[in-house]
Amino acid sequence: MNIQVNIVLGSDVPIYRQIVEQVKHAVATGALSEGDTLPSIRALANRLVVNHNTVAKAYNLLVQDGIARSEKGRGLFITAPRNLYSQEELRRRFDEAADRFVGDVLMLGFKKSEIVAAIQSRLAEVTILKD
């Protein structure tokens, strides 16, 4: 499967982090699944017009986080989901992400009902959610 990675130059989010987050999102939503191949470091760096080391850093983080595995001479592949963190760490990361999200959208002026509706809409689009 081919993932479409887009970066925003001048963003507060570093380019390598943008790549990581987009791959994680694609995995979370089912756009990428186990066994799918990511573009080579060189191919993605050339397409995004960024330094190869930037893509390599992103890919290394994806491997460290258990999202992908590297096979020498073959490429980078999406792995089966696995839990690398304790329940406490998962909860801490969830709360941190939720706090950041809520703070961001409240600062943009959205109402609680708009935020809830948007979240429900996005969750309805996700194909691999567990209940």
Instruction: For residue range 85-122, list pLDDT tens digits in order.
Output: 788 988 998 999 999 999 999 999 999 999 999 999 88
Q: What is the DSSP letter of 36?
A: P
pLDDT, tens digit (0-9, with 9 covering 90-100), for 54-89: 999 999 999 998 899 999 889 999 998 777 778 898
Write down the CATH number for the domain with range 15-78: 1.10.10.10
Residue 49 amino acid letter: V
Distance CA 116, CA 21 (A): 22
pTM for this model (two decimals): 0.72
Q: What is the full DSSP assignment across 51-104? A: -HHHHHHHHHHHHHTTSEEEETTTEEEEPPP---S-HHHHHHHHHHHHHHHHHH
